[in-house]
Amino acid sequence: MDAETLAFLGDHRAQRLAPLTDRLVATIEASNPGYQLRRVVPSEDLRRSCHDNIDRVLELLGQEPTGSPAHDPAYDAARETGRRRAEQGLPLDDVLRSFRMGGRLIWDDLVDHAESALTSVELREVGGRLWEVVDETSAQVAAAYHAHERAVVRADEQQRAELWEGLLSGRAQEASFAFEAARILDLPVSGDVLVVIGGRVDPLQAGSVVAPHASAWVRRTGGVVGLVALREDSPREALQRLARVAAAAGGLGVSAVVHGLAGVDAGFRQASLALRTLGRDGGLATFDSRLPEALLMSAPDVAARLVSVWLGPLLALPRAELVPLVDTLEAWVATGGSATSTAERVHCHRNTVLNRLRRVAELTGRDVLAGAPPVELDLALRALRTGG
């Protein structure tokens, strides 16, 4: 731009800033439905924003573009407006509509006052530069708006992550924390709850399957954790729904019923143990149905000793000999020591069962046929099964 055009723009900025600000404020308040209906932008805030952005646009008209607008302090007013409007909750479309209104008002005012000062060529040059500035200003508004949204999301995710860690570590025994967690997760602070853990759970799908039971889910390093608030005294119906989740997820551990968010930490430990008892098997493992296995996993040294004392000599056998013996022992224990029922389960003759049990007795030095199946043998088999 030549010196005369730059001089005109400088004078125009000094003389027209105040009246343009008044006109833009009135136009936005009258014509932009977002500002009319929501009433979230105070009048003084709107006026300051209009003044500062018009001033910067008029200033930029007389400057050649330099470097990246993202780091240009001349666009600070636009970025501050974008951030504030995001904070106030005004939709971005309404914000950008106001900037288009401002660009049109500035252009109309330039045309009215430049007729005697600028040639048509000079005016077209100014107009081209104006819309470049308005476009870039709008882009900076949008970038700041989205940056604030992302920051809010990150802060919310961080808050929820900290809240979950607090829940799982027992902080909900503090009443104030429990009420805050209930508010954020939209769960009742008291009442019966199941704690759920699975490795491949889809939180959205799981929430849909267990509805209308209220639930909340979170992904963690060790898997997905869920809280299911029961609508009824019995967990039976909720467990039926969770069985469908387990079928899709490959395996699910579920706690016993715990009372309120204050019991979530205990439920988390129970669900973790229940899930571990599944080993490589899938399905639904409830803590109450896996109490012996959970007990053994809580005392791994004892579990290992049980396996060594009761089954150690068998484990040295070739797999072809080991598997039938272990299968027979498991069926024999499960049937309360009935050789006939065991034979039906393992699909062999009753005499074959007795021969296998005598073989076990010979190898281990323990007469398993004397009386009812020993509790220790049952526990050793469970330890072997869950420990792989």
Predicted confidence (pLDDT) per residue in 134-182, tens digit: 999 999 999 999 999 888 877 787 888 889 999 999 999 999 999 989 9
Residue 315 phi/psi, 5° resolution?
-70, -15
Helix (H) or strand (E) holding 229: strand 223-229
According to the model, what pLDDT value does residue 229 have? Answer: 94
Residues in the chain: 388
- Per-residue pLDDT at 388 exceeds 60: no
Average pLDDT over residues 64-85: 84
Residues 186-225 as b or e (16 or more Cβ within 10 Å = b):
ebebeebbbbbbbeebebeebbebbeebbbbbbeeeebbb
Q: Render 310-373 in DSSP notation, one character per residue.
A: HHHHHHTS-HHHHHHHHHHHHHHHHTTS-HHHHHHHHTS-HHHHHHHHHHHHHHHS--TTSSSP
**Does the pLDDT value for residue 71 go beyond 80?**
no
User: Radius of gyration of the chain from Cα atoms?
Assistant: 37
From 57-61, 281-285, 343-347, the region with the lowest mean pLDDT:
281-285
Residue 234, number of CB atoms within 10 A of its CB: 10
Is 25's pLDDT higher than 90?
yes
Is the separation of the CB atoms in 83 and 148 below 8 Å? yes
Once rounded to an integer, what is the mean pLDDT over residues 232-250?
90
**SS3 call for 228:** strand
| pLDDT value of position 37 | 67
Q: Percent of the chain, pLDDT > 70?
A: 98
What are the structure tokens assigned to 1, written together?
């731009």
Kind plus residue range of the DSSP H or E element containing 216 = strand 214-220
Give the position of tokens 């791994």: 300
Cα separations (Å) of 138 from 48, 69, 133, 154?
17, 11, 8, 24
**pLDDT computed for residue 264 by the predictor:** 95
Contact criterion met (CB below 8 Å) for 161 and 99: no
Q: What is the mean pLDDT of residues 47-57?
A: 94
The residues that bridge with 259 in the sheet, in sequence order, are 192
Within its chain, how far is the Cα of 277 from the centroid? 26
Higher per-residue pLDDT: 155 or 272: 272
pLDDT at residue 199 tops 90: no
Q: Which residue has the tokens 């009753």?
A: 350
For residue 70, which of 152, 153, 154, 142 has the smallest C-alpha distance? 142
Predicted pLDDT of residue 38: 64
- Above pLDDT 90, what percent of the chain? 57
Residue 17 near residue 54, CB atoms below 8 Å:
yes
**pTM beyond 0.85:** no
Task: Give per-residue pLDDT as tens, 305-327.
Answer: 999 999 999 999 999 999 999 99
Report the run of H or E that residue 255 belongs to, with start and end. none
Region label for 258, one of left (φ > 0), alpha (ψ between -120 and 50) or beta (otherwise): beta
Q: What's the rounded mean pLDDT across residues 208-228?
A: 90
Q: State the average pLDDT for the chain.
A: 89
Average pLDDT of the segment spanning 332-350: 92
- The residue written with tokens 């699910």 in the block is 252
Rounded to whole angstroms, how far apart are CA atoms 133 and 125? 12
Gap between the terminal Cα atoms of the chain: 81
Could you give the CA distance from residue 171 to residue 314 in angstroms, rounded to a whole number? 47
pLDDT digits (tens, 9 = 90+) for 174-198: 999 999 899 888 899 998 999 999 9
Q: Is 217 helix (H, G, I), strand (E, B) or coil?
A: strand
Using an 8 Å Cβ cutoff, are 55 and 102 in contact? no
Which residues, at least 6 apart from 40, have a Cβ–Cβ distance to it below 8 Å?
Answer: 88, 89, 90
What are 146's two structure tokens?
A: 């989205």
Structure tokens at 279: 């080993």
Whole-angstrom Cα distance, residue 348 to residue 340? 10
Q: Is the pLDDT of residue 387 over 80?
A: no
